[in-house]
């Protein structure tokens, strides 16, 4: 559970990122901002903030906001019903994002992880995204990502999002946030 005071502080900081990047949100969108701590109660280390603009049966558009060195834990988007799983393209808008996918292990990765959670990260092929750069992830692809020192904003364009079905490597994760 995220304590209300911490939730409100993270929300304020997240909205400042949108202002810095000159991304305008409506009052309704600001209210829909999701603060995800994955049930770990370590939001500044392992968490993610996001706003979903649209999510239909065919497409989804979101902005993902990461505070400095904040990490979205390793997960994949499995097949759901007739869908092979979510396909998504990440486009960096602000800051630097270190994205990790299957493939040859990067010898000196830029990510810094908490020692007690390192065993829950299994893919180490590093893709560095700077503003204007993008990368497409295909369905059922294990991945995780971390912001650089100044935080980051990533636009996500995808097929239908069913976040509640995501499979995390860390079995202690609860995807849907609970606020006290």
Summary mean pLDDT of the chain: 95
- The confidence score (pLDDT) of residue 180 equals 59
- Residue 153 phi/psi, 5° resolution? -125, 130
% the chain with pLDDT above 70? 97
pLDDT band at 163 (very low <50, low <70, confident <90, very high): confident
- The confidence score (pLDDT) of residue 174 equals 82
pLDDT surpasses 80 at 176: no
Length of the chain: 180
Q: Which of 123, 177, 129 is nearest to 153 (CA)?
A: 129
pLDDT surpasses 80 at 154: yes
Alpha helices in the chain (DSSP H): 4-20, 27-32
pTM of the model: 0.94
pLDDT surpasses 70 at 83: yes
In three-state secondary structure terms, 17 is: helix
Distance CA 5, CA 7 (A): 5
Q: State pLDDT tens for residues 31-64.
A: 999 999 999 999 999 999 999 999 999 999 999 9
Q: State pLDDT tens for residues 6-40.
A: 999 999 999 999 999 999 999 999 999 999 999 99
Give the DSSP H/E element, type plus range, for residue 88.
strand 88-101
Rg over alpha carbons for the chain, rounded to the nearest Å, is: 15
The token pair that represents 167 in the structure block: 């499979």
Stretch 150-163: mean pLDDT:
96
């Amino acid at each position: 559970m995220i304590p209300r005071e911490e939730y409100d502080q993270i929300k304020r900081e997240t909205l400042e990122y949108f202002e810095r990047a000159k991304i305008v949100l409506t009052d309704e969108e600001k209210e829909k901002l999701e603060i995800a701590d994955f049930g770990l109660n370590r939001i500044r280390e392992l968490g993610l903030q996001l706003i979903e603009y649209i999510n239909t049966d065919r497409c989804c558009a979101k902005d993902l906001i990461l505070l400095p060195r904040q990490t979205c834990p390793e997960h994949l988007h499995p097949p759901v019903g007739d869908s092979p799983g979510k396909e998504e393209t990440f486009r960096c808008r602000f800051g630097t994002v270190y994205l990790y996918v299957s493939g040859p292990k990067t010898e000196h990765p830029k990510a810094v992880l908490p020692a007690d959670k390192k065993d829950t990260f299994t893919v180490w092929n590093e893709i560095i995204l700077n503003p204007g750069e993008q990368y497409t992830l295909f369905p059922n692809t294990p991945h995780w990502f971390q912001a650089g020192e100044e935080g980051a904003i990533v636009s996500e364009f995808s097929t239908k999002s069913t976040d509640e079905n995501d499979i995390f490597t860390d079995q202690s994760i609860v995807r849907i946030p609970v606020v006290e």
